[in-house]
Structure 1
Amino acid sequence: MAMALPALQGSLLDTADEIELHGLDVRLTRTELSRGAWVDYRPGWLGGAEQLFDALHHDVPWYAEKREMYERVVDVPRLLKFYGEGEALPHPVLTEARDQLSTWYAAELGEPFVSAGMCLYRDGRDSVAWHGDRIGRSKDQDTMVAILSIGSARSLMLRPRGGGESLGFSLGHGDLVVMGGSCQRTWDHAIPKTNQPVGPRISIQFRPRGVR
């Protein structure tokens, strides 16, 4: 059974005219999980998310990825783009977001966020299955993955690795979630499919060096 967290409801409507980041020192809450994992949540961190969504939807060179599954090649149910360390990001506010996160979490993380992976979920049929970001150092070391969400609200689900009770975050326009501690090693997360009539959503994932 999934456990909903009613205090963690995303910003479903964003009417700000300018694209700007708000402070991380207010409205940021931490949920302690098990096995040394935790999740921070900051609703409405980004103002003007609708404008940023339009810019990224139009300007980012999205691509489709294929994956072998059950002895056949299938389309990954979302579009992707990855910006590695040193690559220019497609909008200056994303560089500012990465820098703010690096400064805020410097004492805990001990290193900056350097990359930005992006996923475009076109509708409720697009999804990502249960997984942890365990490629690279995150396979056996604590780290952080920060996700900025823009577009239609979707549920980010988390559960202990190996199964167990799950919890959910409804991420809407401009909401931020940061998975830290042992979260990538000891917990899994997913964006499940939905039959609800939802529009497109873009997820921007900031990671330190050597974490995918």
Structure 2
Amino acid sequence: MSAALQESLLDVIDDTAVLPLAGAVRRTELSRGAWIDIRRGWVSGSGPLFERLEAEVPWYAEKRAMWDKILDVPRLLAFYGEHAPLPDPALEEAKECLDRYYGTELGEQFATAGLCLYRDGRDSVAWHGDTVGRGKTEDTMVAILSLGAPRTLMLRPRGGGTALKHSLGHGDLIVMGGSCQRTWEHAVPKTSRPVGPRISVQFRPRGVR
């Protein structure tokens, strides 16, 4: 296990375990009907899970048109669609836990899982909301599990305003709900600080990307 993944004592536990959400989730109400939930250390023993995913997921690089150029997406990607087996039993357990806890409020189950591998501080994701599909017009939820070295996830109101910063890694969970995808944006900025690799796992309902 790399030194970057040993920064948390929870990461050196041999057995990966998805811990309860009830009583441990902290909700923050934002503006315009948006909210976020955070559960620190939701997955214990997350270092071994990170290593399994890094080694076994069929990561791919992608190019996108940006600013009249075709550029490399600054992270590696993987996607598991509805009914596709997830790449590790711990992620199946995590999805089931999310469905039990949020199913009534969400009104449906989480259906897909997108994975991103941030190899170092040069990898990032720009300001955006998940507004491809239903998230453009409907309230929804996106649950993100962060594994590996902590990175800063920033949130700001769409159209401008004070940004919020959360350092997430080592099995932390953030859930963005309500109108968050429409009325707020989020990003993982580049950093010049030496940081280890990070994997984010984004659980989404059907029709949200």
Say if 2:162 is the partner of 1:136. Answer: no
Structure 1 unaligned segments of length 5 or more: list them.
Answer: 1-10
Whether 1:150 aligns to 2:147 is: yes
Match of 2:202 among 196, 200, 205: 205
Aligned to 1:165: 162
The alpha-carbon distance between structure 1 residues 12 and 28, as it changes in their structure 2 partners (threshold 3 A), is farther
1:123 alignment partner in structure 2: 120
The match for 1:62 is: 59
The whole-number CA distance in structure 2 between the counterparts of 1:100 and 1:69 is 37
Alignment size in residue pairs: 202
TM superposition shift of 1:88: 0.6
Question: Which has a greater percent of helix?
Answer: 2
- Return the offset for 1:12: 4.9
| Bigger strand fraction | 1
Instruction: Give the distance between the partners of 2:169 and 2:94, measured in 1 at CA.
Output: 17
The TM-score normalised by the length of structure 2 is 0.95
Q: What are the within-5 Å matches in structure 2 for residues 1-212 of structure 1? A: 12-13=7-8, 14-212=11-209
Q: Percent identity?
A: 64
Q: 1:46 corresponds to which letter in structure 2?
A: V
Structure 1 consecutive aligned stretches of length 4 or more whose deviation exceeds 4 Å: none
SS at match of 2:62: strand
For 1:7, the equivalent position in structure 2 comes to none
For structure 2, the residue ranges without an aligned partner over 5 or more in a row are 1-5
Deviation at 1:17, TM superposition (A): 1.2
SS across alignment from 2:12? coil
Asked if 2 retains the 8 angstrom alpha-carbon contact of 1:12 and 1:172, the reply is no
Distance 2:57 2:109 in 1: 24
Amino acid at match of 2:113: A
Q: What secondary structure sits across from 1:185 in the alignment? A: helix
Provide the rounded CA distance (Å) in 1 between the counterparts of 2:45 and 2:87.
16
2: CA distance, partners of 1:12 / 1:43: 15
What letter corresponds to residue 65 of structure 1 in structure 2?
E
Q: Read off the aligned partner of 1:164 and give its amino acid letter.
A: G
Asked whether the 8 Å contact 1:28–1:42 carries over to 2, the reply is yes
> Take 1:137 and 1:187, find their aligned partners in 2: how far apart are those partners?
15
Q: What is the root-mean-square deviation in Å for CA atoms of aligned residues?
A: 1.1
Counterpart amino acid of residue 71 in structure 2:
V
- TM-score, normalised by the number of residues in structure 1: 0.93
How far has the Cα of 1:188 moved from its partner?
A: 0.1
Distance across 1 between alignment mates of 2:43 and 2:137: 32
Q: Do the aligned partners of residues 159 and 54 (structure 1) sit closer, same or farther apart at CA in structure 2, a change above 3 Å counting?
A: same
